[in-house]
Amino acid sequence: MPTFISWNIDSINAAVEHKSPRGEMTWATLQHLAELAPDVLAIQETKLRPTGLTKKQAAALDELFPEYHRYLNFSTARTGYSGTMMLTKTEPLSVTMPEIGAPGEMDQEGRIITLEFPNAFVSTVYTPNSGRELARLEDRQAWDKAYTTYIDSLNAEKPVIFSGDFNVAHEEIDLKNPKTNHHSAGFTDEERADFTDLLKAGYIDTFRTLHPEATGVYTWWSQIAKQSKVNNAGWRIDYYLISNQLGDKLVSLDVIDTGARQDHAPIQLVLKDFSLN
């Protein structure tokens, strides 16, 4: 059964250098993902320079994932910002770093990679955050609409498996403190409605489909709030979505334990009776 893992790493360099306690935890998580050996690994927020991986970073990834094909999309708008990476055991038919007609510099921030295989597209996304005081909310809404149109264009050809940090908790059940965060970036009515529209266009939230009533399952805990992980005051903002026609292939969607590390946790999707080829 093919397995897929997605993770917002919050800096490949911090993981590879692992010079701080948090960096050590990030590196340990990356090592664990290598041991799990998914068919496809999607990484968001690589924070690489436009020149790409350093020799040390490339060597570290080569050692951890020696049998994988590697693809990276860098931010050319701001150095060391955003960025995505995908690792796959199977060489894809094509690789696309699309521009979707998003506002401002969003299309230059390395936010999407799409791999085409004979039986599906596999894509990852790092969705823009609406920012402090929701300064970027209008642009974020434009992104959401453009992104849905883009995914629909893929889905018109073949099924899509897409993952990433979508920067939205869809329903109140998807975060610990919905009432106090109602007007916070990632839980506005506008962002939640856009996510609803995306699902209605023909896609499945794999975790919520499997666990419709599950509470206390999150993928992100604030680094600023010192006790967020201890108190499980988290948000579920990382998703694997799949085209409706793949619904009968769905086996599991799990959040991978990262111990005391705050920020994002990886998520793992398993499908059955399905091959990328």
165 is catalytic: yes
Is 167 annotated in a binding site? The answer is: yes
Give the percent of the chain with pLDDT over 70. Answer: 100
Give the percent of the chain with pLDDT over 90. Answer: 92
151 contacts: CB under 8 Å, gap ≥ 6 = 123, 160, 162, 198, 201, 203
* Confidence class for position 61, pLDDT limits 50, 70, 90: very high
Report whether 156 contacts 121 (CB < 8 A).
no
Active-site position among 10, 18, 39, 126: 126
Active-site position among 68, 218, 238, 264: 264
3-271: in CATH 3.60.10.10? yes
* pLDDT, the chain, mean: 96
pLDDT at 224 (0 to 100)? 86
Active-site position among 39, 165, 174, 194: 165
- The CA-atom distances, in angstroms, between 129 and each of 18, 237, 239 are 26, 11, 15
Is 155 annotated in a binding site? The answer is: no
Cα angle 168-157-119, degrees, rounded to a multiple of 5: 90
Does residue 150 register a pLDDT over 90?
yes
pLDDT, average across residues 155-167: 98
**What residue ranges do the domains of the chain occupy?**
3-271
Cα angle 230-235-241, degrees, rounded to a multiple of 5: 135
- Give the residue ranges of DSSP H helices in the chain: 12-17, 21-36, 55-64, 137-155, 189-200, 206-210
Which tens digit of pLDDT belongs to each residue from 168-187? 999 999 999 999 999 999 99
Number of helical H runs and strand E runs in the chain: 6, 15
Determine the 3-state secondary structure of 69 from DSSP: strand
Is 264 annotated in a binding site? The answer is: yes
264 is catalytic: yes
Which class for 212: exposed (0-12), middle (13-18), buried (19 or more C-beta within 10 A)? exposed
* Confidence class for position 277, pLDDT limits 50, 70, 90: confident
Is 263 annotated in a binding site? The answer is: yes
